[in-house]
Amino acid sequence: MRIVIGITGSSGSIYGITALELLKEAKVETYLIVTKNGWKVIHDETNFTEDYIKSLSFKYYDESDFDSPLASGSFEYDGLLISPCSMSTVAKIANGISDNLLTRVADVCIKEKRRVVVMPRETPLSPIHLKNLLKLSVNSNVIIMPPMPLLYLKPRSIEELVKYSVARALYYFGIRTSYLRSWK
Ligand SMILES: Cc1cc2nc3c(=O)[nH]c(=O)nc-3n(C[C@H](O)[C@H](O)[C@H](O)COP(=O)(O)O)c2cc1C
C-alpha cells in the first residue's frame, strides 16, 4: 500500500508526524510532502528535526517538486492524507488550484477517485472556510475529519489523544493500527 502524507502550515503538525510513525510501524509505503509553511509550524510547535521527519517516510518531496511521480495520475498510489490541513490548502483544493505538489496530488486523487482524508485545523471557522470544506465534501471523494479529540476513549496523554485521532483517519484507508478503538 502507498499513501501520500501532506503536512501544511496549520497548527497540529504532530498529527501528520504521528501518522508517519504509525504507518511506518504498519509497513505502509509513505510519500511525504511538507509545505514551506508546514516546516515553519513544525519548528515552532515541535522539537523534531527535519531529518527525523523525512526518515519516517519512504520518500520525501519538496512542495515545489512538480517532477515528482506523485504529480501524475499514472503513478499508482492509494490516496492522500493531509494532516493537519490549513485553510489556505483547503481553499486551493476546493477550487482546483494546483500551485504546489501537495495541491496537485489532491487534484490528482480527486480526479482519479482515490481516497483523500483532510484533517482541517482552524478555529473558529469562518463562512469562507465552511463553504470551502462543504465544496470539498459534496463534490468529491474527500473525507473531512477535523482532529477533534476522542475524549470518550479517555486518553491518558496528548500523545495518546493524537494517536486515537490519527488511527481513525487511517481507518478510512483500510489501515487498522493498534490505536484504532471503537465504542463498546
Ligand atoms: C505558528 C503558525 C500557526 C498557524 N496555524 C494555522 C492554523 O491553525 N490554521 C490555518 O489555517 N492556518 C494557520 N497558519 C497560517 C498558515 O501557515 C498560512 O495560511 C499558510 O499560507 C498556509 O500555507 P500551506 O497551506 O501551503 O502550508 C499558521 C501559521 C503559523 C506561522
Atom of ligand 1 nearest to the CA of 100: 26
CATH assignment, 2-171: 3.40.50.1950
Smallest CA separation from ligand 1 atom 16, residue: 9
Ligand 1 pocket residue status of 40, Cβ below 6 Å? yes
- Tell me, yes or no, if the pTM score tops 0.85: yes
pLDDT confidence of residue 181: 84
What nine digits make up the cell of 180?
484504532
Ligand 1 pocket residue status of 141, Cβ below 6 Å? no
Enumerate the domain spans of the chain: 2-171
**Which of 38, 30, 39, 104 minimizes the C-alpha distance to 65?**
104
pLDDT confidence of residue 168: 96
Cell 501544511 found at: 8
Cα 144 from Cα 116, distance rounded (Å): 9
Cα 81 from Cα 120, distance rounded (Å): 11
Amino acid at 125: L
DSSP conformation class of 123: S
- Separation of CA 170 and ligand 1 centre (Å): 23
For the chain (length 184 residues), average pLDDT per consecutive 10?
97 98 97 98 97 98 97 95 98 97 98 97 98 93 95 95 97 94 78
Question: How many Cβ atoms are within 10 Å of 179's Cβ, its own excluded?
Answer: 21
Contact of 25 with 15, CB cutoff 8 Å? no
What nine digits make up the cell of 98?
494546483
